[in-house]
């Protein structure tokens, strides 16, 4: 929500037992969070102007999510099944019906349709046959890229 992807900072609000277990885990995987990152996170959480920007970003991501779903619903027959995001700005596209590897699909879509998607296999073997698509781009680019992807798949990949 705060456009701080990769900053590796967060907080946890949970029952004490969960917090205790999370602390045990984090003690062995995280050494510390840099001071400048902590200061930036504090501003992100307390500055009213940042909160306004966050609200605008949340609205934009919701609008883009609905845009992608509308394009998918209007497209018609396609071997791609869409998995709706549950909080992130990524869609996972189930393209297993095409019978190609995630890497091959991502490479071919890039070369043939000029659309960059991430192979699902980048997230482990369970992601094979899937593609990840972001909605962190301009509305027009998302719509065009998704339509090109659906057309590519509808033509048999």
Percent of the chain with pLDDT over 70: 100
Region 103-107: what's the mean pLDDT?
A: 97
Query: Could you give the dihedral angle defined by the CA atoms of residues 47, 52, 54 and 55, in that order, rounded to the nearest 10 degrees?
Result: 140
The model's pTM: 0.79
CATH number of the domain at 60-154, please? Answer: 3.90.1150.10
pLDDT of residue 11: 84
Confidence band, pLDDT 50/70/90 cuts, at residue 10: confident
Q: Which residues make up the CATH 3.90.1150.10 domain(s) of the chain? A: 60-154
Sign of CA dihedral 31, 37, 43, 44: negative
Structure tokens, 15: 């029952």
């Amino acid at each position: 929500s705060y456009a701080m992807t990769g900053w590796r900072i967060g907080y946890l609000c949970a029952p004490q037992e969960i917090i205790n277990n999370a602390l045990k885990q984090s003690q062995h995987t995280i050494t510390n969070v840099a001071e400048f990152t902590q200061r930036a996170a504090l501003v992100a959480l307390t500055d009213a102007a940042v909160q306004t920007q966050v609200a605008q970003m949340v609205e934009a991501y919701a609008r883009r999510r609905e845009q992608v779903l509308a394009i998918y619903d209007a497209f018609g027959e396609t071997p791609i099944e869409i998995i709706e995001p549950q909080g992130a700005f990524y869609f996972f596209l189930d393209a297993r019906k095409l019978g190609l590897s995630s890497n091959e699909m991502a490479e071919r879509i890039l070369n043939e349709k000029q659309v960059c998607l991430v192979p699902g296999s980048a997230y482990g073997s369970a992601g094979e046959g899937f593609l990840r698509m972001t909605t962190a781009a301009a509305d027009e680019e998302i719509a065009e890229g998704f339509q090109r992807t659906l057309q590519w798949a509808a033509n048999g990949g």
